[in-house]
A and B are shown apart, each in its own frame.
Chain A
Amino acid sequence: DQQVKQNSPSLSVQEGRISILNCDYTNSMFDYFLWYKKYPAEGPTFLISISSIKDKNEDGRFTVFLNKSAKHLSLHIVPSQPGDSAVYFCAASPTQGGSEKLVFGKGTKLTVNP
């Protein structure tokens, strides 16, 4: 039973346009959500996070939106750049602390075309 779902295995966008990656979760105990980016042959790199007390968090070109009632979050990248091409993982945790385990989705492979 997957608690964190990324239903789109892949996404392709043009450079300069917006990329929107979606994530749904089922466990109402999740309180903290993270996005990781992974390049081939590298480990996941932390990108941005959001606590359940907020509905939006922005960091440069990256914005994460959280709709707690719908148990849905999304990552917006604007403008998209070819270097953003990677696999993006959504993760959730029951607390804000790093000592709690993270539950990951299967990832969405983003391709940004020049």
Chain B
Amino acid sequence: SAVISQKPSRDICQRGTSLTIQCQVDSQVTMMFWYRQQPGQSLTLIATANQGSEATYESGFVIDKFPISRPNLTFSTLTVSNMSPEDSSIYLCSVDGRRVLFNEQFFGPGTRLTVL
């Protein structure tokens, strides 16, 4: 399994500002994923980040709102831009497992964001 850390663990932000969330993995991984969990909802994939290429965004999510960086195989950032109260969520990064078959994803502890 992979050990994943996220910073910050939580934050309270003002409307209109931006927050960058960091995700660090203890080993090199090919794929990193960013999810959002809004209150009472399921985890929803925002985008997939490969090192050295542009992130691939899911329907309903755009790069201007959620820019992602993936500078190397152990690190990624997600920025939540021009925040509104609707962006209040838990943001999680995950990485692909390392097994050949029946792969699972491993998740970081999450960043709890509250936008006032």
Contacts and interface: CB of A to CB of B under 8 A. Distances in A.
Given A43-B92, A43-B110, A106 B41 contact: yes
B104 interface: yes
Nearest to B45: A101
Interface in A76-113: 89, 91, 96-99, 101-107
A51 interface: yes
A43 B108 contact: yes
Contacts of A104: 42-44
B109 interface: yes
Interface string B76-110: 00000000000000001010110101111111111
A75 interface: no
Contacts, number: 64
Contacts of B104: 34, 46, 49, 98
Contact of B31 (A2, A46, A98, A107): A98
Interface size class of A (residues with CB under 8 A): 20 to 34
B52 interface: no
B114 interface: no
Interface of A: 2, 4, 32, 34, 36, 41-46, 49, 51, 89, 91, 96-99, 101-107
Interface of B: 4, 9, 30-31, 33, 40-45, 48, 58, 92, 94, 96-97, 99, 101-110, 112
19 contacts: A32-B102, A43-B4, A43-B92, A43-B107, A43-B108, A43-B109, A44-B92, A46-B97, A46-B105, A98-B31, A98-B96, A98-B99, A98-B103, A99-B31, A101-B45, A102-B43, A102-B105, A104-B44, A106-B42
